[in-house]
């Protein structure tokens, strides 16, 4: 009964009578001990029955085998017919991807005949033999495009223990070889419907006129309505190309709605409305600038509108004249010229000052901190916050981990001998230990959490206030109670000086305090040569009235001989790239504040004829610091953003973990090349 056709339950079924014969014989022999006469009768009958079963089994075995083969053949034929006429393309492959068999639909889709026996990769190049061999078990799928149609390819490994049909020829020495089933699902219509669905999603936009009040105030009354009409028409005509609905919310604010399919075109042309609106003239002398915030990719209309508001906040936080597109968690910035728009109105400063006062009054203590390796601007702004807290009789401490050479003369002004608290300056560890729920954390001169002196403080409390003059980027302090970010301001000290004027009826600043804040303005404006406006000089005048002496500040800002020589060496070894960019390296040896020296050297390099932007690379404390400067033609802030940094149009920087100055120099050069090729930089 050992036969390849009789296996499993079928074999057991045919052997059952023989098993029973053994039981019967044992019973017959047992009867001899009880009734020998009955045993003599039963035993021959049992033998006769066994002989009859054996004869019948042997005589019908051949016919049973034929019946089994006939049934299996008929069953296989039915299966084969079903697969051949199956509406889905279906094929069998060997483990290497060679086609062993394919049905009619697969032959029609592939354009091959039924006898095609080459690799599946010759038909579908997107599927490689290596990718098939890596998938050892289970099912796996691919998405491919074949003859302009989209298919989902589903593959599964099949194991067979019996010989396959002759049409599927397997190696004779490998009957247990696994096969791979391959099915194609045509998803062309599904992909088309998905594309249409995505294209028809609503995109929400906000358009603000940055300098509406300032522009109209300088225009004659009879021409104001004409200027407003021209602006309205340009905005409406521009978005009409996107089949958009434009509604005017206020005199200087517009709400825009259009379909998602038009957004790539607007991004491709980098929102040309930003440049076109600047040519609007109807009696106005200054340029009109716009800020555009676009929100898309939200799960609901409300979320898309929220994205648009967030994008507008980023655009305004970068100084206006920008378009910001927020699609889910991704943010893109557009706008060829990124010069900040200065506003003469001080209403915002007064509102922020009153809000800061109310927050301080309801808190027990204030902790203030700037960015890592703090400069004079961060220290001066922190001293201003200390003065505001002192006015309300609130304790205030300043987080300062590193006192550099440039900071030491100013830090020495605020000692216990001069009447200041002994613990005015603390490090990050003490700040974390002293933090309570009733404390207010004020961040100055940075809006990036990773750049602060103690990022842990921002994670431990929600009572956060931010004062900064740098443009906002993707990485920013989230959900502060109060955020005052004005990129048009020359420095954080200028912003704090304005706030102090509205904080109370009169705040008495000591000469040392006024001098420290004044020094912050002086440093960030490069002696009032860059990023200065009317409000910058007004803040300086306010500090001068409170005892800031220019001569004394100049003495405090003097540097030692080593730093002066190091700056001269940086300038001497600078290399000019593409005839317009000066790139140099500032060594950190024998320098207590190499990043400050690097920033000063970057300013010096701009004094060379033909240099449009300068970059000084400094390696300090396992980080690479980049100081970028320009005069007016190159937006170094955009360059630094691509390297993970930020800043302003003319003053920017970046911090890179690890790496070497040589590699960072190559990154800067590649970034410049790419931006020139893309048209972002014009030489």
Q: What is the pLDDT of residues 437-457, one digit of tens each?
A: 889 999 999 988 988 999 999
467 & 596 share domain: no
* In a domain? residue 212: no
Residues 184 and 166 in one domain: yes
All residues at 6 or more sequence positions from 583 whose CB lies less than 8 Å from its CB, including other chains: 574, 575, 576, 577, 614, 615, 616, 617, 665, 668, 669
Do 535 and 447 share a domain, yes or no?
yes
Asked whether residue 360 falls in the same domain as residue 444, the answer is yes
- Would 242 be classed as within a structural domain? yes
Q: What is the tens place of the pLDDT at every residue in 163-218?
A: 444 445 544 444 455 778 888 888 888 888 888 888 889 999 999 998 888 888 77
Stretch 385-411: mean pLDDT: 91
For residue 287, the model assigns a pLDDT of 81
Helix (H) or strand (E) holding 158: strand 149-158
Asked if 409 and 529 sit in the same domain, the reply is yes
- Name the residue range of residue 78's domain: 9-83
The number of domains in the chain is: 5
Q: Is the pLDDT score of 381 beyond 80?
A: yes
pLDDT digits (tens, 9 = 90+) for 89-129: 888 888 778 888 888 888 888 888 878 888 888 888 878 77
Which range among 16-30, 225-239, 576-590 shows the weakest confidence by mean pLDDT?
16-30
- Residue bearing the bigger pLDDT, 213 or 363: 363
Residue 335 φ/ψ, nearest 5 degrees: 135, 110
Answer yes or no: is 206 within a domain: no
Name residues whose C-beta falls within 8 Å of residue 439's C-beta, 6 or more positions apart in sequence. 363, 364, 365, 366, 367, 461, 463
Same domain, 237 and 320: yes
In order of 81, 487, 515, the CA distances from 379 in angstroms are 84, 19, 11
Based on the fold, state whether residues 366 and 314 are members of the same structural domain: no
User: What pLDDT score was predicted for residue 5?
Assistant: 52
CATH classification at residue 613: 3.10.310.30
Residues 122, 71, single domain; the answer is no
Q: Are residues 662 and 618 in the same domain?
A: yes
Within-domain flag for 683: no
pLDDT number for residue 213: 82
Same-domain status, 326 and 361: no
> Is the residue at 178 inside a domain?
yes
> Can you give the pLDDT at residue 360?
93
Greater pLDDT, 577 or 560: 577
Task: Please give the helix or strand (H or E) that residue 249 lies within, else none.
Answer: strand 245-250
Would you state the pLDDT for residue 141?
Answer: 80
Query: Residues 509-524: what's their mean pLDDT?
Result: 92
What pLDDT is recorded for position 147? 82
Domain end position, chosen among 526, 556, 586: 556
List all residues 6 or more positions away from 536 whose beta carbon is below 8 Å from its beta carbon.
Answer: 489, 490, 494, 521, 525, 528
**Mean pLDDT lowest among 6-10, 392-396, 459-463:** 6-10
The answer to whether residue 44 sits within a structural domain is: yes
Say what the pLDDT of residue 504 is: 84
Query: Residue 522: inside a domain, yes or no?
Result: yes
Three-state SS for 288-355 is CCEEEEEEECCCCHHHHHHHHHHHHHHHHHCCCCCEEEEECCEEEEECCCCCCCCCCCCHHHHHHHHH
Last residue of a domain, one of 556, 590, 617: 556
Please write the tens of the pLDDT for every residue from 302-318.
999 999 998 888 888 77
Residue 342 located in a structural domain: no
pLDDT the model gives residue 564: 86
Average pLDDT estimate for 30-56:
75
pLDDT score of 338 more than 50: no
Looking up residue 402, the CATH number of its domain turns out to be 3.90.1640.10
Of the candidates 472, 438, 433, 432, the one whose C-alpha atom is nearest the C-alpha of residue 455 is 432
Chosen domain end from 194, 209, 230: 194
pLDDT number for residue 161? 45
Q: Are residues 380 and 518 in the same domain?
A: yes
Give one DSSP letter per residue of 383-417, joined into a string: HHHHHHHHHTT-EEEEE-S---TTTHHHHTTSSGG
Whether residue 386 has pLDDT greater than 90 = yes
Question: How many other CB atoms sit within 10 Å of the CB of residue 562?
Answer: 14
Same domain, 103 and 187: yes
- pLDDT over 90, % of the chain: 33
pLDDT at residue 79, as a whole number: 61
């Amino acid at each position: 009964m050992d036969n390849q056709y009789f296996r499993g339950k079928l074999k057991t079924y045919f052997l059952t009578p023989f098993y029973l014969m053994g039981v019967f014989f044992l019973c017959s022999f047992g009867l001899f001990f009880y009734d020998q006469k009955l045993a003599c009768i039963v035993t021959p009958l049992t033998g006769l029955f066994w002989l009859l079963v054996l004869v019948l089994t042997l005589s019908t075995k051949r016919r049973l085998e034929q019946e089994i083969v006939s049934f299996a053949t008929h069953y296989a034929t039915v299966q084969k017919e079903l697969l051949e006429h199956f509406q889905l393309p279906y094929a069998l492959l060997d483990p290497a991807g060679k086609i062993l068999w394919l049905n009619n639909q697969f032959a029609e889709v592939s354009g091959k005949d039924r006898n095609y026996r080459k690799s599946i990769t010759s038909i579908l190049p997107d599927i490689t033999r290596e990718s098939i061999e890596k998938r050892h078990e289970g099912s796996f799928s691919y998405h491919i495009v074949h003859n302009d149609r989209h298919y989902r390819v589903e593959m599964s490994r099949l194991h067979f223990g019996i010989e396959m049909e002759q049409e599927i020829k397997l190696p004779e020495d490998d009957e247990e070889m696994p096969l791979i089933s391959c099915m194609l699902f045509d998803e062309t219509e599904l992909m088309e419907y998905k594309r249409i669905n995505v294209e028809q999603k609503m995109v929400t936009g906000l358009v603000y006129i940055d300098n509406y009040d300032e522009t109209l105030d300088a225009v004659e009354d009879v021409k104001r309505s004409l200027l407003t009409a021209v602006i309205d028409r340009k905005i409406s005509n521009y978005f009409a190309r996107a089949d958009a609905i434009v509604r005017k919310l206020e005199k200087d604010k517009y709400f825009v709605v259009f379909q998602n399919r038009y957004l790539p075109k607007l991004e491709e042309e980098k929102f040309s409305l930003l440049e076109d609106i600047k040519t609007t003239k109807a009696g106005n002398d200054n340029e009109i600038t716009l800020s555009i915030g676009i929100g898309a990719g939200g799960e609901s209309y409300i979320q898309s509108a929220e994205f648009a508001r967030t994008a507008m906040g980023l655009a305004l936080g970068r100084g206006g004249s920008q378009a910001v597109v927020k699609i889910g968690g991704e943010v893109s910035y557009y706008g060829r010229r990124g010069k900040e728009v200065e506003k003469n109105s001080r209403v915002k400063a007064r509102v922020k000052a009153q809000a800061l006062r109310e927050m301080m009054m309801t808190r027990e203590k204030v902790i203030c901190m700037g960015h890592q390796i703090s400069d004079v601007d961060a220290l001066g702004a922190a001293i201003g916050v200390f003065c505001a807290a002192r006015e309300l009789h609130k304790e205030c401490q300043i987080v300062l981990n590193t006192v550099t050479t440039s900071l030491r003369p100013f830090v020495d002004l605020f000692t216990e001998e001069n009447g200041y608290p002994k613990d005015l300056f603390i490090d990050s560890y003490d700040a974390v230990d002293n933090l309570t729920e009733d404390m207010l954390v004020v961040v100055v001169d940075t809006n990036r959490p990773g750049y602060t002196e103690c990022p842990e403080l921002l994670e431990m409390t929600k009572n956060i206030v931010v004062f900064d003059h740098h443009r906002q980027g993707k990485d920013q302090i989230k959900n502060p109670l109060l955020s005052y970010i004005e990129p048009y301001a020359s420095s954080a000290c200028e912003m704090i000086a304005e706030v102090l004027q509205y904080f109370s009826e009169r705040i008495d600043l000591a000469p040392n305090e006024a001098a420290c804040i004044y020094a912050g303005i002086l440093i960030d404006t490069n002696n009032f040569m860059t990023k200065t406006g009317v409000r910058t000089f007004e803040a300086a005048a306010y500090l001068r009235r409170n005892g800031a002496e220019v001569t004394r500040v100049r003495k405090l800002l003097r540097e030692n001989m080593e730093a002066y020589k190091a700056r001269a060496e940086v300038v001497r070894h600078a290399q000019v790239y593409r005839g317009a960019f000066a790139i140099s390296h500032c060594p950190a040896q024998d320098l207590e504040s190499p990043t400050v020296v690097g920033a000063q050297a970057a300013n010096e390099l701009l004094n060379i004829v033909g240099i449009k932007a300068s970059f000084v690379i400094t390696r300090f404390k396992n980080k690479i610091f980049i100081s970028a400067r320009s005069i007016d033609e190159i937006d170094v802030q955009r360059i630094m953003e691509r390297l993970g940094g930020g800043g302003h149009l003319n003053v920017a920087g970046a911090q890179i973990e690890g790496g070497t100055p040589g590699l960072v120099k190559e990154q800067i050069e590649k970034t410049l090349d790419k931006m020139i090729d893309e048209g972002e930089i014009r030489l």
